[in-house]
Structure 1
Amino acid sequence: MLNLAALTELLASPKKIVITTHHKPDGDAMGSSLGLYNYLIQQGHHTTVITPTDYPDFLAWLPGNEDVIIYTEQLEKSAELIAAAELIFCLDFNALSRINEMGVLVGDSSAYKIMIDHHLEPADFDDYRHWDINACAAAQLVYDFIVNQLYHPELINKDVATCLYTGIMTDSGSFRLPNTSSTVHRIVADLIDAGAVNYRIHELVYNSASENRLRFLGHCLANCLEVLPEYNTAIIAVNNTDLKKFDVNTGDTEGVVNYALSMSSIKLAAFIVERSDRVKLSLRSKGEFPANEICKKYFDGGGHRNAAGGHSEGTLEHVVEKFKSILPEYKKLLKQ
């Protein structure tokens, strides 16, 4: 294992560095990755961000995005960069399975692995870990890593600040989730002072939907929403035919589950979607309800207490029925 002094010494001279994050990266995954990227290139490190899969178009404006390599689109180049890396930063994920086929390459690499993450139960694959489950976003931890561990607050320039602000904003639910502490607001204020234009970032992330995406959302709410009042639960289940009908792209389903949770009586919301290879499930909850427990126990997944995900090899109908069959076990919690 590396200690902080040894890691600091490694970073004192230019290194070959790869930054990666979980598959189907979201705002925090890309914001934290590109925030760290824009910090490291200021010090002359040969740095590349490699994502396991594609990610939403509404994140393509992030500073440094033009240099990102998508593993599934550049397999050979990705493998070469990972093999040559001296350090690999693993951001916003806690197990190599979260980066799909890349996990084998990263695991086999002789590079030092640095995990920066806020998910429960991290796997033991890293050499240095900056980890805190109370952090609202991996981007918050990247900020802390740069400012309070490496002591480089002066290198939080506009590009770094813009990326980290995006990560914190998206993973905190626009600063409304319970882990959005006073510390988070102080960090955000610092990022704004460093050049992050808060209203513009919000506009680029949240007000860039296509017509198809809006029509798909309308379809979900009008035709796919099921409310189970006896469990204070709502389900939105979408089949693959509907995804094709509305030409749903990566990122278009993001946040749909939050509309189900927005009802005052709902304590648990599920978005269950049939993909080409499996059925995926996203859960959101209010208060103390452990959405991550359901995903871990029943759907080979996990996450945070109020935001978690999982998947199943079964049919869409099977997954919906399985989810419903679990609810009686949690009825007391759901009715509190």
Structure 2
Amino acid sequence: MMFLIRSILETIEFIILFIYYSLEAFILMFFSVRKKVAGKIVLVTGAANGIGREVALNFARLGSILILWDIDEEGNKETAELVKNNGALAVYTYKCDLRKKDEIYAVADKVKKEVGDVEILINNAGVLKGKAFIDLPDSDMAETLEVNTKAHFWTCKAFLPAMIACNQGHLVTTSSVAALAGSNKLTDYSASKSAAFGFLESLAFEMRAAGKEGIKTTIICPYYVDTELVTGVKTTRPLLLPILDVRYVGKKIVDGILKEKLYIVIPPYIGLIVLKLFLPKKVVFLLAEYLGLFDNLDHFRGEVRRGHNAED
């Protein structure tokens, strides 16, 4: 009897808080509540080009200290020059092969010694192979998982302890709309992005359960973005789902981080794709075909630049 009463009271409390927090979030939409990042140490992986470069530039304009990781040293240096010219308090570049756990840990140790504890960690680097599963070499599958998923484990292992110690910090993962909906020729990519999504979401709950509410998390799910990573990708419904401008996406990501959003879906309405869980099978396939999930990568030409390009 007592268990039933307690359960009813907990449910009532949940409903009241659910309504309160929802109204609070709605009201805050009309106010510009943004975290201050001037002087904060921000690490961006995949910074040599694409979204990584744009995110770094936006943080530079806010006076942050930038740490840029990429396997592409030349592109990373170009980003560093741009960041310096756009107001970064300081900028540091490191070559890091995100396929290698030991190298990630070694470079992370250098960062902590030479710069300090990372306060905002942005796991952005990614690779996309765009091959049918049966034609996908095991080595390609392994690389996709190493860069798009496992690297997030190792960077968070390296930098999270310092955040926990002071109950302050922000972890950011560039996942993808592909984590919410599969697509033809994206078996490895969708799997890796779904895993990255699940990893950070679970870690967010873990931090909350441990009372570390000062550690924020943000999961980014963009549609295809106009970068080298998706060279040749076409969208079947350009009016509904256009290939996104990389500068626009970079601004939206940083704006979402400043507002400490838990999820950033770009464009926001594509998040409705999760409603597929409630649709009949034939409707799901019909929707997937209509949105181009069967043929978006028919003209994909692969990654132009060797290395870990910025996401999507």
Q: TM-score range by the shorter chain?
A: 0.3 to 0.5
TM-score by length of 2: 0.32
Q: Which has the higher strand share?
A: 1
TM-score by length of 1: 0.31
| Higher relative contact order (Cα pairs below 8 Å, separated by 6+ residues) | 2
